[in-house]
Amino acid sequence: MLGKEEIAKRIAKEVKDGYYVNLGIGIPTLVANYVRTDISVEFQSENGVLGMGPFPFEGEEDADIINAGKQTITTLPGASFFDSAFSFGMIRSQHVDLTILGAMEVAENGDIANWKIPGKMVKGMGGAMDLVASAENIIVAMMHVNKAGESKILKRCTLPLTGVGCVKKVVTELAVMEVTPKGFKLLERAPGVSVEHIIASTEAELIIEGEIPEMKIG
Amino acid sequence: MINKKVKSVQEALAGIEDGMTIMLGGFGLCGIPENSIAELVKKDVTNLTCISNNAGVDDFGLGLLLQKRQIKKMISSYVGENAEFERQMLSGELEVELTPQGTLAEKCRAAQAGIPAFFTPAGFGTEVAEGKESREFNGKMHILEHAYKADFAIVKAWKGDEAGNLIFKGTARNFNAPMAGAGKITIAEVEELLPVGSLDPNQIHIPGILVQRIFKGEKFEKRIEQRTVRKK
């Protein structure tokens, strides 16, 4: 079973040379730490920056330079700033190659829910609805089951949707799955996790073809 | 040169009355017009509809107006940082219209650009699309969204000149740029207010035609919401 850092490590392998990437809050933010250093990648934050760098050194924080998680950041050579309308323009026009975000639920038809639990948690969708409606390549980083042990990989989402038919790939503590027109296809399993364990933890049907390899992390 | 300079925040906010709709720039606490917000609290105007990406935190930004119940309705994309907000929303005291962030930005930009409405794919198939016209373009579904109508837009810039030209810094440009000119009257509060001729025309982000009143903010706290650092 993978920890959050290992999920981020596995997703980092999906980041290719020349990609502009938008990272959501939580596990997706960690992905930046594990992208190969021999490729060229730029991170976009929807509040208006391309070319994000690491957190600033202590004492060098600037209140005017933050990411979408409201964290103080730095920029790398070649970075640029722009306004929010412009930022979502480049997202809508599909100039951002890869979007990595978290979810509360995903379904076998590619639907995703991650912004609202009616009556309990209403924080808002932020930029998630714009991102999932426009991005061609969406990878979801999430936990396979909730604290009560119930599957979050579903036939149909039960929570209010963020987007429909948009998720392409899901990486959890147990597995890597691809969303195909026929449903979730199991691609890889976490080290030491059996296919049976994954099936038992998944409410949706899984398409399983041949031997399922273990994920390679690191 | 048409001079937009006003002497004080009081003069800048003249005419803001109970029940009006006000746009306020900023993302989180980054780039918020903090001097204007402090004056709105003093002015004690109520029943406001505020269009702002976020609602501040409990004791800073728009959270200050929420605490005094000056806001009737909030139009935002993300309000997770404010416990008082969540309480007023869940109890029904505060009307809330949650809008996808890119749609919110574009509804401001549309108002700024004189476009009454536009189609966007964001929110199609979700509760955001309820009651809205939808249409297919290039094989993909979109929903119709309308430009905002606001009485005032209040933006914050780094540098400005007396002609109302504005330059922003870093990610503080956010919603400040698309909100400039998106209200009937646009007020700009700036950290540095310079005489005309001090700013290079090549570097201007927002031309002064979109700004009716400009003033130098007395004090900028520029609070950081999530201070994240690494060790040297």
At A138-177, the pLDDT tens digits run 999 999 999 899 999 999 999 999 999 999 999 999 999 9
**Angle made by CA atoms B25, B28, B29, in degrees to the nearest 5:** 80
Which tens digits make up the pLDDT trace of B85-100? 888 988 899 999 999 9
Test the B interface: residue of A58, A74, A125, A158 with most B CBs within 10 Å: A125
Is residue A218's pLDDT more than 80? no
Which tens digits make up the pLDDT trace of A37-94? 999 999 999 999 999 999 999 999 999 999 999 999 999 999 999 999 999 999 999 9
Is residue A121's pLDDT more than 80? no
- Residue (of B62, B54, B100) closest to B80 by Cα position: B54
Positive or negative: CA dihedral A55, A60, A66, A71: positive
- Identity at A19, one-letter amino acid code: Y
CB contact under 8 A, A123 and B79: yes
Which of A66, A68, A124 is closest, CB to CB, to B80? A124
Interface confidence (ipTM) of the complex: 0.97
Determine the length of chain B. 232
Angle formed by the axes of helices A84-92 and B101-113, nearest 10°: 110
Residue A46 annotated as catalytic = yes
Is residue A101's pLDDT more than 90? yes
Pairwise CA distance, residues B147 & B181, whole Å: 12
Q: Which of A46, A105, A108, A188 is catalytic?
A: A46
Contacts of A68 in chain B (CB under 8 A): 27
Which of A111, A123, A129 is closest, CB to CB, to B122? A129
CB contact under 8 A, A46 and B170: no
Pairwise CA distance, residues A186 & A202, whole Å: 11
Q: From residue A163, how far is each of A107, A140, A170 by CA, in Å?
A: 11, 12, 15
The alpha carbon of A157 is separated from its chain's Cα centroid by a whole number of angstroms, namely 17
Interacting residues of A182 by C-beta distance below 8 A, sequence separation 6+: A207
User: How far apart are the CA of A197 and the nearest CA of chain B, in angstroms?
Assistant: 32
pTM of the model as a whole: 0.97
CB contact under 8 A, B122 and A63: no
User: How far apart are the CA of B222 and the nearest CA of chain A, in angstroms?
Assistant: 6
- Residue (of B8, B71, B17, B69) closest to B43 by Cα position: B17
Determine the length of chain A. 218
Is residue A26's pLDDT more than 90? no
Q: Which of the four pLDDT bands, split at 50, 70 and 90, describes residue B179?
A: very high
Asked if B106 and B118 touch (Cβ cutoff 8 Å), the reply is yes
- Whole-number average pLDDT of chain A: 96
Which of B102, B103, B223 is closest, CB to CB, to A63? B223
CA dihedral B175, B181, B185, B186 (to 10 degrees): 50
User: How far apart are the CA of B171 and the nearest CA of chain A, in angstroms?
Assistant: 5
Question: What's the confidence (pLDDT) of residue B84?
Answer: 87
Structure tokens at B15: 């005419």
